[in-house]
Amino acid sequence: MTSPDRRRAVVLPGGTAPEAVRRLLDALPAALDGSGPALRPADPAQAPPAPPEVPPGVAAVVATSGSTSGTGHLVALDGAALVASARATHERLACPGQWVACLPSHHIAGLQVLVRSVVAGTEPVVLDTTDGFRATDLAAAVGRLRDDVPGYLSLVPTQLARVLADDVAVAALRRLSAILVGGARTAAGLLAAARDAGLRVVTTYGMTETGGGCVYDGVPLPGVAVDVDAESRVWLTGPVLARGYLDDADADRDTFRDRGGRRWLRTADRGSLADGVLTVHGRLDDVIVSGGLNVSASAVERALGELPGLGDVVVVGVPDDHWGALVTAVVAGDGTPDLAGLRAHVGERLGRPHAPRALVRLAELPLRGPGKVDRLGAAARARELLATGDARTERLP
């Protein structure tokens, strides 16, 4: 991505610490309307990056998590795109309101909560999760919301699961007009439990390159269009699209493409459209070749997500001399059904060839970004533990 008259963005700490959020909120209006410099919210746990150069019109530079590739990109987002996303969200949710900010502001989901607050003219209630997320703290934060405007919240699935385990938090969150859940796949059982508990949960699909979620409950936001091509690849377009990548010209050309005179984002996701509703089936590259058969990791994860009591789960392929790749379920927590139980459930849903042949239990799954499982890290840990026959593993011969 090239443009004349480039200028340097201002690096500010991200995260959820109130003082960092305050600095971003104070700087955002000028960044969004172009009267001030672009902002580069950075992970406060890492050394501050060099201020990137950006073209005019860019309001923010946000790093992607690289949860599947291991490396992320620097995404340049125009002020107009961020504002368009915020306005479309408020239009879908009925009207502007007040937000609880509890996601790291150096990731797009957390930053977009701040942008929506600026656009709505409301002050977000900031919940500092630097030392961890606690449902009781969230309940208290929700209690500080105004009563004269709708209350909104954005969470990742792991946070929603913790909320459901706390009756006080569930009661507090019932007052909210909408709870956006995204950043990772939300298990069907978790979603059903949240709605049965009276929470107004809205699933979101999007990415940094679309300024955050741009498809809510499968339906594109106003101004956004979705297409699925012959290979089931999802394409997205609309005023929410990022300017492009600052750090990788080849990836920029490959990802942002002209189709029929309109600029589209070529995602790495598989999906299907029915009556205008998008269903995302997983990534195009999530296929595990095991015993000569193609196994969709995402399909196995969805099936496992139906099991009650199952914690966070990711399905990976572990190299194996006999099978080529061993379909392996990596799960968080100790209350997981045994391998035989997992195999029986997946076999019934998808057929025995898709059933995991190995199970690895971890205290928690490795993450890259809020709620995004580090698939490469999970696969590496599974490979290591299975190779040593660790007690936290089960494996079929």
What is the per-residue pLDDT across 155-186, written as a single tens digit (0 to 9) for each?
A: 998 899 899 999 999 999 999 999 999 987 78
CA atoms within 13 A on the CB side of 198: 9
Which residue, 74, 68, 83, 71, is CA-closest to 116? Answer: 83
Domains and CATH numbers, the chain: 7-280 (3.40.50.12780), 286-395 (3.30.300.30)
In whole angstroms, give the CA distance from residue 207 to residue 267. Answer: 9
Helix, strand or coil for residue 348?
helix
pLDDT at 70: 47
pTM: 0.82
pLDDT tier at 214, thresholds 50, 70, 90: very high
Say if residues 116 and 86 touch (Cβ distance below 8 Å).
yes
382/188: higher pLDDT: 382
Q: Is 252 helix (H, G, I), strand (E, B) or coil?
A: helix
Say how many C-beta atoms besides its own lie within 10 A of residue 37's C-beta. Answer: 17
Report which of 256, 241, 164 is spatially closest to residue 207, judged by C-alpha positions: 241
Among residues 364, 351, 292, the alpha carbon closest in space to that of 133 is found at: 364
| pLDDT band, residue 284 (cuts 50/70/90) | confident
The radius of gyration computed from the CA coordinates of the chain, to the nearest angstrom, equals 21
Q: What is the reported pLDDT for 264?
A: 98
Over the stretch 93-122, which tens digit does the pLDDT of each residue have? 989 999 999 999 999 999 999 999 999 999
CA 179, 182, 187 angle in degrees (round to 5)? 95
pLDDT digits (tens, 9 = 90+) for 328-363: 999 987 766 789 999 999 999 988 889 999 999 998
Three-state DSSP class for residue 106: coil
Residue 75 near residue 155, CB atoms below 8 Å: no
At 10 the pLDDT is 96
C-alpha to C-alpha distance for 109 and 41, rounded to whole angstroms:
12
Per DSSP, 209 falls in state G
Cα-based torsion angle of the residue sequence 84, 88, 89, 91 in order, rounded to the nearest 10 degrees = 140
Question: Following CA atoms 370, 375, 379, 380 in sequence, which dihedral angle do they give, to the nearest 10 degrees?
Answer: -60
Residue 85 clears pLDDT 90, i.e. is over it: yes
Query: 368 or 249, which is more confident?
Result: 249
Give me the amino acid identity at 186: T
Q: How many CB atoms lie within 10 A of CB 25?
A: 18
Both tokens assigned to 337? 């059904």
